[in-house]
Amino acid sequence: MIEKLTANELTALLNELPGWKTDDSATSIHRSFKFADFNEAFGFMTRVAIKAQEMDHHPEWSNVYNKVEITLSTHEAKGLTSRDAKLARFIDSITKTSADA
Amino acid sequence: MIEKLTANELTALLNELPGWKTDDSATSIHRSFKFADFNEAFGFMTRVAIKAQEMDHHPEWSNVYNKVEITLSTHEAKGLTSRDAKLARFIDSITKTSADA
């Protein structure tokens, strides 16, 4: 059984990854992304999908043309865990690469 | 400017593709899909994404693990057009293939 992040760990995570916000009950984190077009948005989703499958930890997400909304949570723990932190860090790492290119 | 489907055309489409339902204002159609797992769900999404890009007509959609929700509408026409019919037919054609396999 994976343990929830402590309040201190969650605060540290949100400071580290300022694009992500928690819901009111702090059981999930959410971020919105906007890309140049659908090709770039779905390419991003594909990279996240491959990582998610590797981690066996999957996002809840939606896409409309160049926009992608992602929510992360760990159902098994009914809250946020190190898996969400790891996947959020990966997501931010590939969006930074894309933005810097 | 692409024209909206007539009421008769929309009725015929919904009879042809019974998995799809319109919203109350009949400006979009919606279908839910459930797959064996995330791999199969995202593989399906990838096939739809490639077709959508080829058509330059993109879905609004969301995914949670093995579930995919798709809404189709043509913003330019503020309603349903032959583009939505074409993409819905494609989507159903690949899900039938998958189910038959």
Tell me the backbone φ, ψ of residue A36, rounded to 5 degrees: -65, -35
- Pick A61's closest partner by Cβ from B53, B60, B62: B62
Delimit the domains of chain A by residue range: 27-94
- Pick A64's closest partner by Cβ from B39, B60, B65: B60
Q: Which residues of B touch A (CB under 8 A)?
A: 38-39, 42, 45-46, 49, 52-53, 58, 60-65
pTM recorded for the entire structure: 0.93
ipTM of the complex: 0.92
A4 CB neighbour count, 10 Å cutoff: 17
Dump pLDDT digits (tens) for B35-50: 999 999 999 999 999 9
Q: Using alpha carbons, list the distances in angstroms from residue A40 to A31, A43, A72, B49, B53.
A: 17, 5, 21, 11, 11
B74 to chain A, minimum CA–CA distance in Å?
12
pLDDT value at residue A1: 82
CATH number of B27-94: 3.30.1360.20
Q: Give percent of chain B above pLDDT 90.
A: 93
Whether B99 shows a pLDDT value over 90: the answer reads: no
Considering chain A, what is the average pLDDT of its residues?
94
Q: Give percent of chain B above pLDDT 70.
A: 95
